[in-house]
A and B are shown apart, each in its own frame.
Chain A
Amino acid sequence: MPKNVYRGLYLVIAILLVLPHVLPNSYYLDLAVRMAINAVIVLGLNLLIGFAGQISLGHAGFLGIGAYASAVLPTHFGWHPLAAMGAGALAAGLLAALVARPIFKLKGNYLAMATLGLGIIISIALRNEAQWTGGPDGMPVPSMGLFGFELSNDRQWYWVVALLLSVSVWASLNLIDSPFGRALRALHGSEVASQVVGVDIVRYKVAIFVLSAVFASLMGSITAHYVGFVSPNYADFFHSIELVTMVVIGGMASVYGSLVGAVLLTALPQALATFEGWETVVFGAILMLCMIFLPKGLVPTLAAKFGKGE
């Protein structure tokens, strides 16, 4: 393993440590928490899309499962938030496995279509089951206690999320540079070549899809507790697309690209708020320019330009 593989991680940790001390007010702290949450989600999604080459257009559905598990189970059934979070992750994982197995037996990229449908079904279900979910209005989420002390203010949340992000980056870097990760990248590069060296490609695709779904569900739960409220928009198709855009803009198959994509696209709508009503247009234009001039995504393009690998 090249020695510098963790260099970027140290930089991420350094930024995470310094950030809360330099942010001017709680608005920015809140933004930082949201960025970090998105970064973890996008990291999981990039393992699936960028590294394994399988596209999911319904990832917000898995976020929704986690978020609503954390809202519904403690509110209506009195579950402990951690148990609810676990149940959500389990449900998301099982659902992902159930959908993925038959899909991956087919040749060609049908996962995109299947997940598109799945995501929409989940968001419709959340909207319609109003007696449990509050319907289109959403519902409040009880606060989360951890080992007897309650996570109440943004600063505590920041440290929790910062820790999650650091661990996720570390684990992703390890995974990519392991036999498992190489098999994933190999089946992206050439399915037939990876098969003839013994990679069971269906198993690997299912495994990474389930993993990214579980990642999403867990972060959905975290978001629900942090925001204190969930609404079906969170599980929406447009949110799924936003997540895929973060992967693509940041850079496919790039760990740090995932972070950059998540940070930029979380901040951009806020920064564009001054355009009043035109922000969607400006947002779209920025994305188009990125795709034209940085087709491989920000981080890989810049890394290539400055002559070093990631």
Chain B
Amino acid sequence: MSMLEVKDLSIHFGGVKAVQNVSFAIDPGIVYSVIGPNGAGKTTLFNLITGVYKPSAGEIRLDGEAIHGRSPNELARRGVARTFQNLQICMNMSARENVMVGAHLRLDRNLLKAALHLPGLRKRDAELRDEAAELMRFVGLEQYVEARADAMSYGLLKRLEIARALAMKPRLIFLDEPAAGLNPKETIEVDQLVRKIADAGVTVVLVEHDMKMVMNLSDRILVLNYGKKLAEGTGEEIRRNPDVIAAYLGAHA
């Protein structure tokens, strides 16, 4: 059975139909990429699936259960994590604390116990600090464990977001342009990182413009254009699809 199933999903903002009747299914354990020209509706699609937007029509099922219209924190409870195209890092916190926030749902969030500094909570927090450092090492930020978030560069923060998402111990992770704005060396590192995440058994949904990375990583690819599904298939199928070529080259060839 597919892990995530999207059927006839649509959303419009006033007269703008940002996503129209998009359907696809994602099997567990694969890397699934969503590509398309700027403004094709890729990020909107992510926002719909992760509960940031409510769809105008259509349905989204996770393990067969309808999840459309649920709030982001309910989806987080179901093991769905994401990163953002335009960074969403808490600059008022340290890098490590940003990662620790990712573990929010796995912790005892009791206010009174926190204020009284009870030993059980303190011990769990100490473990979490180590766990966060471990995750930062996993994404290649071992030198920045003690850094302030607002002192880190864009490329590093992109990875910090991935570490925060991984701290949720997700089953399904949405990465929105993890390589955008990175130099070629950093892009290769992110490419390898996504591979490591997938190898760890997390289903990955990727939005990315770097075609080399997409072709290299993806088991399946969905192509969006003007909010509609243009094509879906393996990398090889997509590469040869005439509609896709036309959309990317802008020609009616």
Contact = CB atoms under 8 A, between A and B. Distances in A.
Interface of A: 1, 170-172, 174-175, 177-183, 185-186, 188-190, 192-201, 207, 211, 253
Given A179-B109, A200-B73, A185 B90 contact: yes
B101 A186 contact: yes
B245 interface: no
A189 B114 contact: no
A193 B91 contact: no
B12 interface: no
A193 B88 contact: yes
Interface in B45-72: 50-52, 71-72
B69 to A, nearest CB: 15
Contacts of A194: 90, 101, 104
Given A194-B101, A196-B81, A200-B73, A182 B93 contact: yes
Interface stretch (B115-123, B222-230, B234-242): B115-123
Contacts of B100: 182
B117 A199 contact: no
Contacts of B167: 197
Task: Pick the 9 closest A-B CB pairs, nearest first.
Answer: A189-B90, A178-B114, A198-B76, A193-B88, A198-B105, A195-B72, A179-B107, A171-B115, A174-B117
B114 A179 contact: yes
B93 A189 contact: yes
A236 B187 CA distance: 58
Interface of B: 50-52, 71-73, 75-77, 81-82, 84, 88-93, 97-98, 100-102, 104-105, 107-111, 114-117, 121-122, 125-126, 129, 164-165, 167-168
Contact of A193 (B77, B84, B110): B84
Contact of B76 (A1, A178, A197): A197
Main SS of chain A's interface residues? Answer: helix
A187 to B, nearest CB: 9
Given A197-B104, A197-B105, A198-B104, 15 more contacts: A174-B116, A179-B104, A179-B108, A179-B121, A182-B93, A182-B104, A186-B90, A189-B91, A195-B51, A195-B76, A196-B52, A196-B73, A197-B165, A198-B76, A198-B77
B101 A183 contact: yes
A190 B90 CA distance: 6
A188 B91 CA distance: 9
A1 B125 contact: yes
A194 B84 CA distance: 12
22 contacts: A1-B122, A174-B114, A180-B110, A182-B104, A183-B101, A183-B104, A183-B109, A186-B98, A186-B104, A189-B93, A190-B90, A193-B89, A193-B164, A195-B52, A195-B73, A196-B52, A197-B168, A198-B73, A198-B105, A199-B73, A200-B73, A253-B92
